[in-house]
Structure 1
């Protein structure tokens, strides 16, 4: 009897063992991205909250969990620090003694200068500060999803001591997670996010406080007010820590904002000037990448590992076509020497399930997201 040919080999991942330290919304989303896009062979979730770890494992966000730092960290070639701002530096101090000297380390904090200095003081050589510009007012691992990072700007803020090889590797990771890396100094980042992230939070607080002091206003608050104050629904403690950590840059942003409000107040007596300001505001707002992205329909994706051999993509599409599974979109996510992965956009959750069964039977490794 002739033996059947072996199935396609799974390509080597970017990382053998990844640790996500802090398995919340962003940390969980990074973990899911690593797993769904086949970028790490194994993903460990670390968190001091045992209930969070149980939820993360039950949801399939991570492969295994740890509640205390230890020797297990030495096997990790990627470590992502994903704790809230106030906990980020203590987390780094707890983990640093156990890190492999060759481990690639990054973080997802929204303020960069402080954590960059902290990791340098700890002697963590391969640290690349980072900040994915993505999030939601709904926190926690239960709301984590790999799609949260797709098309998001992910700022990398190397210091003078950041090895270029480490920066290149984190940049590659960010691209493979579907985000767009942007490189700038830590201080420049902190000044910019003070305006586009931390200032809107304080503005939303101010608006909600106006409503809180007059119950008649709450009866009239409609969609526009809801959209302007959405970020006030975030975790109060985490948001407080974020803006306090960046208070110097935020004070500068507040001063500029006051001047803009004063200019608009003066324009109330000059209708043409106010119209020009409104037109400029509309043009600017409509051109924002995040606004355009929000118009995209939800996707039902399947990520398939493919070896770097001829006709592998053809084998995938032919197998699904023969079974009547309609592929609406296809994207090459990553091709490394050993192979890579492709994303298939399908019509429904059921198509994701059927395609998974078909391709698993053909020997392909797949990860689905309905």
Structure 2
């Protein structure tokens, strides 16, 4: 490819995508859509103009909107990424403008309420979803496409969900680098009550014990910090998450109390306690380690390449000749008209230099993790 040739990009899965709520997860989805060339245009919708300005300045979205309106009818993908407490209200605001042919999904951590609301609103193309990914650091500033990579992404269709909508949602999740898992909304909510919402309440209880005895804080080191990590999340968002799932969470709390009572009884039976310890170790050691991006997110450069021979070679040779050191390289999904490479470079300066070199060769590139 030369500077005279027009850049070739993969055919997008969606024309216009709207991410409603440009925070950590919404921003990460938007970045994934842009960097992997999954949408021709990504629009960020948020009531907070400061957030929108930051998202646009960071290259998270192509365009911004502060309110829903007729312009939404041009979108063929709509992602609801507001906090849990605002999610159903956002759905009601957007529903009158959504194109019936658009795929609509969300990223909330509780599925029963939003699934029922979208059915009530008559948005048939809605597929509720929950990417099992996150960070204690919130906001679009910390958004990263790599946050979603290799994450389990639960999709929770109802009996009225069209199979075509579910298939499109699965395709979206796979192309964002995540692993789709399908289950009913109530099954999802019962499971996350145990593996996500219960640990949050347990972390609160432990940290409250330390807060009420300053001697404990002197001894609360690495292990205690690791165990209570989720207590560092946004308090309001965490509160809304557990309250939204309170019925399933009460059941999980009942089971947890029984486990604690059993372990308390085992204090008088060392052999039973040892057996419980072995079971705990086996279970903990068998949990999968989720590896996110193989590359440092801050120093990534994504390059669109045509689906023809020697394109990887053309990219690496151009950068090698300019003494740009490629630390890692990953081939992203190949689609009609081409695919994309992600390059891991040594510094932001090298990303900028490599981008300029490859653009001069006729390649289309996108940066930021």
Select the structure with the greater relative contact order (CA < 8 A; seq sep ≥ 6): 2
Query: CA offsets, 1:327-365, max 9 Å, x none?
Result: 343332121122221222334444433322221111111
Q: CA deviation at 1:43?
A: 1.1
Q: What secondary structure, in the 3-state scheme, does the structure 2 residue paired with 1:17 have? A: strand
Match of 1:46?
45
1:229 lines up with 2:228 in the alignment: yes
Q: Which residue of 2 aligns with 1:135?
A: 134
Structure 1 stretch 303-312 or stretch 128-137: which is displaced more? Answer: 303-312
Counterpart mapping for 1:136-215 below 5 A: 136-215=135-214
Q: TM-score, normalised by structure 2?
A: 0.93
* Aligned length, in residue pairs: 367
Kept in 2: contact 1:7–1:362 (CA 8 A): no
Pick which of 250-259 and 209-218 moved more.
209-218
Distance 1:50-1:117 versus aligned 2 partners, 3 A rule: same
Structure 2 matches for 1:231-250, cutoff 5 A?
Answer: 231-250=230-249
Query: How do 1:337-352 and structure 2 match up within 5 A?
Result: 337-352=336-351
CA distance in 2 between counterparts of 1:249 and 1:125 reads 26
CA offset at residue 110 of structure 1? 0.4
> Normalized against structure 1, the TM-score is what?
0.93
SS at match of 1:41: strand
SS of equivalent residue, structure 2 residue 199: helix
Please provide the CA RMSD for this pair: 2.0
- Residues of 2 paired with 1:147 and 1:13: CA distance? 19
Cα distance in 1 for residues equivalent to 2:264 and 2:282: 21
CA distance in 1, matches of 2:134, 2:201: 17
Answer yes or no: is the 8 Å Cα contact 1:328–1:347 preserved in 2. Answer: yes
Alpha-carbon distance between aligned partners in 1 of 2:33 and 2:351, rounded to the nearest angstrom: 19
- In the other structure, the counterpart of 2:17 is 18
Shifted more, 326-335 versus 130-139: the winner is: 326-335
Asked if structure 1 preserves the Cα contact closer than 8 Å seen for 2:148 and 2:292, the reply is: no
Distance 2:352 2:293 in 1: 26
Conserved 8 A contact 1:330-1:345: yes
Q: Which runs of 5+ in 1 are unaligned?
A: none
Distance change (3 Å), C-alpha of 1:328 and 1:99: same
SS in 2 for 1:334: coil
- Pairing 1:1-370 to 2, within 5 Å after superposition: 5-290=4-289, 293=291, 298=296, 300-369=299-368
